[in-house]
Amino acid sequence: MHRDSDRHKLFSRRAAMLAGGQFVLLTALTGRLYYLQVVESEKYKNLADENRINFRLLAPPRGRITDRNGSPIADNQQNYRLLLISENTTSVDSTLDALENIIPLSDKERRRILRDVKRNRSFVPVTVRENLIWSQVSQIEVNTPDLPGVLIDVGESRYYPHGEDFAHVLGYVAPVSEGEATGDPLLELPGFRIGKAGMEKVHDLALRGTGGNSEVEVNAYGRIIRELSRQDGEPGAEVQLTIDMELQRLAAERIADESAAVVVMDIHNGEVLTLASTPSFDPNKFNQGLSSAEWSNLVNNPKSPLTNKATRGEYAPGSTFKMIVALAALEHGIITPETEFWCSGKMKLGNAVFHCWRKEGHGRVNCTKALTQSCDVYFYEVAKRLGITRISEMARRLGLGEPLGIDLPHEKGGLVPSPEWKLAEIGTSWQKGETVILGIGQGYILVTPLQLAVMTARLANGGIAVTPHLTRQVISTENTDEQPPTRDFESIGLVPEHLDIVTDGMVRVVNTPHGTAFRARIKEDGMSMAGKSGTVQVHRISKAEREVGVTKNKDLEWKERDHALFVAYAPVDNPRYAISVVVEHGGGGSSVAAPIARDILREVQKRKIATPLGATETTSEREPEGQPETEPSNG
């Protein structure tokens, strides 16, 4: 009996403990359920909604870029995309095989498609091809029954209607690279593109706009059931450039067969009307995706189609530099308008002999005649007396030697040499012979076509330090009524009488029979131009080459031929436009570059892109008889 009593007591204690434990657990569970369902009910209700409802970011339309007259030069167009949903196919490989009868797919494309199919859920569309043409879209639509899982989607993509003509100004857009992610959610959208070069890059943030959002209901697998609400984003701003579309196309067409650059600008406000560089590239290809062969052709082309020669090409200025030397000499009293030097065809300095382009010489010449006929010996003598420091100082005042700050990426600044520069970079002291050769724009000095246009503008506008720009205004919904900002430029302190001497020489270069560019003059009334040619030697023909028949520049390989340069302004009576033309390895400045400048300056005046201030009708003089001098090797 005693043992049975002990067992009963032990069992009772265990039962009580078990019941107590169960009560505690039940109490804790009840409390937890109360906490979750009552206290935290709102939180979990929201989480449940978030599992059922997704918010998706919508890419806004990219803003347009237009020319000065509002004509679009970068726009958006419908983008027909071919998509594939793998769950709707019996076999992805079979669908792709059938699709290849309509649209050929490379092995690389096919591998990419199959890789994307494996990475994504079966109901997520995979892009097969973008930018389909209408004939391809229609063929696919007709054959839809035989292409399970295939569908056409319509979106927007960047489009450049004038292709190569504006490529170096506009740049291009392309997908966001890993290093370009900044945390902006727009950059994470599939297929989103940003500006990579040119004005697309400069104004990328304004052109992007503001993203919208879409509220969609999804199931447990993430598949969209329906769209609940939608708020479209704010389109990107419209960027209006100073470029004139028709003039740009004319310039691009005029130098299409050359490796060349043309810059036209308004000498008073700095608006760049034309900035052309050839050969060029089609920016649409970068948006659509370049093949390996296309990329290789661009980077290996010896004429560098990817380089904007107008702002990044650096060349010796040749005889276009002689106006700078003349101004510096006049300012420092080294010469007067009446100062003359005798040109016998060469000048000796120590043991070195410096030749004029005209072997028999020009005889006695003053500053105006030296500019008109591009006499090298005259400027050898002037530079020798003037010195490198004073020449360099005047060159910088006229816009050479450093970037001008144009609103394009990666502008180069050229090089205006000095004794300090040479000692630091080359490790040797400056020689007087180097100053002599600098007097005709040869040697270490380098300039860009844009700098040459600015130099010419400052000569033509009376010595005002005008700087170039390409952006006229940025128009968004917030600033539709704003006007383009006005720009004030300071004087660079040139003496008007000195400028008159130099510009008179430029007028005579083009409009008198002995001027080096007489053949390229503009004959229409009131449109005459003033200019200066330059021919920069790239390779000196050796004695050995002469013995095998290489006697002229055109006998050399293309890369060894002279560069052709020409700068000008018009109209002479009331200047408004400045131009620079550089043709790489083109030959003579007056025979190759000057006619290009003539044709473009004539057109800009006919179109009255910027009406000359206070222009008046003038009557041209009767064309004088006679023939121009032979084109000089440096002028």
Q: Is the pLDDT of residue 622 over 70?
A: no
The residue-averaged pLDDT of 441-452 equals 97
| Least confident among 98-102, 267-271, 315-319 | 98-102
pLDDT at 487: 76
140: left (phi > 0), else alpha (psi -120 to 50), else beta? alpha
Compute the C-alpha angle 421/427/537, nearest 5°: 65
Q: Convert the pLDDT of each residue in 240-283 to its tens digit.
A: 999 999 999 999 999 999 999 999 999 999 999 999 999 999 99
pLDDT in tens, 187-244: 776 667 899 999 999 999 999 988 777 666 666 544 556 766 677 778 899 999 999 9
Q: What is the pLDDT of residues 134-160, one digit of tens each?
A: 888 888 888 888 888 888 877 788 999
The CA distance from 493 to 495, in Å, is 7
First-to-final CA distance of the chain = 135
pLDDT band, residue 89 (cuts 50/70/90):
confident
Which residues have CB under 8 Å from 291's CB, separation 6+?
none
* Token pair listed for 391: 């020449």
Catalytic annotation on 319?
Answer: yes
Torsional sign, CA 461, 462, 467, 471: negative
Per-residue pLDDT of 30-85, as tens digits, reads: 777 766 666 666 655 554 554 566 666 677 889 999 999 999 999 998 888 888 88
Q: Given pLDDT bands bounded at 50, 70 and 90, which one contains residue 1? A: low
CB 464, CB 491: distance < 8 Å: yes
Express each pLDDT in 341-365 by its tens digit. 999 999 999 999 999 999 999 999 9
SS3 127: strand
Give the single-character DSSP code of 68: T
pLDDT, greater one: 449 or 562: 449
Other CB atoms within a 10 A radius of the CB of residue 290 amount to: 16
Which ranges of 318-431 would DSSP assign to H, the alpha helix?
A: 322-331, 367-373, 376-386, 388-397, 419-425
Kindly name the residue from 86, 157, 280, 319 that is annotated as catalytic.
319
**What was the pLDDT predicted at 9?**
59
- Would you list the DSSP string of 345-358? SEEEETTEEEE-SS
Q: Which pLDDT band holds residue 624 (cuts at 50, 70, 90)?
A: very low
Cα-based torsion angle of the residue sequence 123, 124, 130, 136 in order, rounded to the nearest 10 degrees: 10
Collect all residues with Cβ–Cβ distance below 8 Å to 341 and sequence separation of at least 6.
Answer: 364, 365, 370, 377, 378, 381, 382
Structure confidence at residue 548 (pLDDT): 60
Contact 631, 590 (CB under 8 A): yes
Judge if the upstream peptide bond of residue 496 is cis by omega within 30 degrees of 0: no
Among candidate residues 337, 602, 332, 601, the one with its CA nearest the CA of residue 456: 601
Place of tokens 């003579």: 588
Check residue 56 and give its pLDDT: 66
Closest-CA residue to 153 (of 190, 187, 126): 126
**Three-class secondary structure assignment of 261-323:** EEEEEECCCCEEEEEEEECCCCHHHHHHCCCHHHHHHHHHCCCCCCCCHHHHCCECCHHHHHH
Q: Mean pLDDT across the chain, nearest whole number?
A: 85
How far is 271 from 249, CA to CA, in rounded Å?
17
pLDDT of residue 620: 32
